[in-house]
Amino acid sequence: MSETAVADTSASILQRMPELVCLKCQADLAAQDDGLRCAACGRVYPTDAGIPTMLGEEMSRFAEEIAVQDRVALEYESKRYKDEYAQRYHAWWTDRMTSKVSLDGRILDNGCGLGLLAEQISADRLVGLDISSEMLTRARQTYDNLVLGNSQELPFRDGSFDVAFCRSLLHHLPEPETAVREMHRVLRPNGQIVLADTNASLLSTLPRRIAYSGDHFSDDHKNLNRRMLEGYLTPHFTIDEIEYFGYIAYPLMGFPDMVRVFRFVPFKPIAARALMATDAVLSNIPLIRTQSWGIFIKATRKA
């Protein structure tokens, strides 16, 4: 690629994502041949295929998680989100997330992975951030507003976004509370966060403990629960809604890269509808509903 093409790419990044600022001093960035340069401190952030690298100072803490996410990206693409019924299930609960807020403003997909939200949200409104370059390479097939970054040190100016989605992110992080504080910072007044994360329950605790010993997970992985998530959120957000999800369909349909049981189920179209309908019913039954694999929380930014 020529130097002019690199400079054009850097300039287009800032046009598409004017929220980007220097991690070190929060100053504006300028496009140049070797990437994005801070106008104040001179720090340079390289770009590759239109994606700026803005990972922060303490990346040794994330080295294992980056290695895991880079390794599983291909499995997610070729198995988890390629399987027809896994796709159907993930689209179902992703739609539950997006239905909770207005999608008209500027939206952050924090921990965007392969970019699934871009299938439901206008790409020009969406900015995706992930710590894995392999995930972002695949997300780039769907949309362009992507940043290689660290959720505990977001490279965005204060008050940039109307909504932040946080899909299966917090349980990956060494300091989830820091990531929540950062989302509060980059959201506008009355901005909203919608998260979906793990829920430690009778149903999920032992299987997750076994799974976390495998190569899909780093040592930072946690099985969070409602109390822990509320503890991270309430200093910065007012919780508006809590909903449990994932009972039988979640393990059987959602994760063919890890559990391939559903391939043996006869009459798959009928079985898939029945399993998702069963999950929906269970999520509304007192006492039983809390024994889920996952939890949704919608919250509004405190002033």
In SS3 terms, 172-241 reads as: HCCCHHHHHHHHHHHEEEEEEEEEEEECCCCCCHHHHHHHCCCCCCCCCCCCCCHHHHHHHHCCCEEEEE
Q: In this predicted structure, what is the pLDDT of residue 214?
A: 54
Tally of CA atoms within 13 A in the half-sphere of 183 that contains its CB: 34
Q: In this predicted structure, what is the pLDDT of residue 56?
A: 81
Q: In this predicted structure, what is the pLDDT of residue 7?
A: 42
For residue 99, report the phi and psi dihedrals to the nearest 5 degrees: -75, -10
Are 250 and 203 in contact by the 8 Å Cβ rule? The answer is: no
Class of domain 55-301: alpha beta
DSSP string, 32-76: ETTEEEETTT--EE-EETTEEEE--S-GGGGHHHHHHHHHHHHHI
Average pLDDT over residues 190-197: 96
pLDDT exceeds cutoff 90 at 240: yes
DSSP string, 18-30: TTB--TTT---EE
Residue with more model confidence, 7 or 227: 227
Q: In this predicted structure, what is the pLDDT of residue 215?
A: 55
Rounded to 5 degrees, what angle do the CA atoms 133, 139, 144 make?
A: 100
Q: In this predicted structure, what is the pLDDT of residue 267?
A: 94
What residues does each domain of the chain span? 1-49, 55-301
pLDDT exceeds cutoff 50 at 193: yes
pLDDT exceeds cutoff 80 at 218: no
Model pLDDT for residues 89-112, shown as the tens digit of each residue: 999 989 999 999 999 999 999 999
Average pLDDT over residues 33-61: 89
Please enumerate in sequence order all residues whose Cβ is within 8 A of that of 15, keeping only pairs 6 or more positions apart, or say none: none
Q: In this predicted structure, what is the pLDDT of residue 6?
A: 42
Q: In this predicted structure, what is the pLDDT of residue 236?
A: 98
pLDDT band at 4 (very low <50, low <70, confident <90, very high): very low
d(CA 17, CA 249): 37
d(CA 126, CA 163): 10
What share of the chain in percent tops pLDDT 70? Answer: 94
pLDDT exceeds cutoff 80 at 237: yes
User: 147 forms bridges with which residues in the sheet?
Assistant: 129
Q: In this predicted structure, what is the pLDDT of residue 205?
A: 80
Nearest to 9 by CA among 59, 40, 47: 47
Please enumerate in sequence order all residues whose Cβ is within 8 A of that of 50, keeping only pairs 6 or more positions apart, or say none: 9, 12, 13, 140, 144, 146
pLDDT exceeds cutoff 90 at 293: yes
Are 146 and 164 in contact by the 8 Å Cβ rule? The answer is: no
Q: In this predicted structure, what is the pLDDT of residue 211?
A: 63
Q: In this predicted structure, what is the pLDDT of residue 276?
A: 94
User: What single-letter amino acid sits at 102?
Assistant: S
* Long-range Cβ contact pairs of 267-275 (< 8 A, separation 24 or more): 268/85, 272/85, 272/88, 272/89, 275/248, 275/249
pLDDT exceeds cutoff 60 at 2: no
Average pLDDT over residues 50-76: 88
pLDDT band at 219 (very low <50, low <70, confident <90, very high): low
* Long-range Cβ contact pairs of 240-244 (< 8 A, separation 24 or more): 240/192, 240/298, 240/299, 240/300, 241/100, 241/296, 241/297, 241/298, 242/295, 242/296, 242/297, 243/96, 243/283, 243/295, 243/296, 243/297, 244/199, 244/283, 244/289, 244/290, 244/292, 244/294, 244/295, 244/296
Residue with more model confidence, 81 or 164: 164
pLDDT exceeds cutoff 70 at 151: yes
Average pLDDT over residues 185-200: 96
Which residue is it, tokens 């930072």? 220
**Beta 161-167 vs 187-198: how paired, if at all?**
parallel
Q: How many residues does the chain have?
A: 303
pLDDT exceeds cutoff 80 at 282: yes
pLDDT band at 8 (very low <50, low <70, confident <90, very high): very low
User: 67 forms bridges with which residues in the sheet?
Assistant: none
User: What single-letter amino acid sits at 26?
Assistant: Q
Average predicted confidence (pLDDT) for the chain: 90
Average pLDDT over residues 122-137: 95
Average pLDDT over residues 134-151: 95
Q: In this predicted structure, what is the pLDDT of residue 31?
A: 93
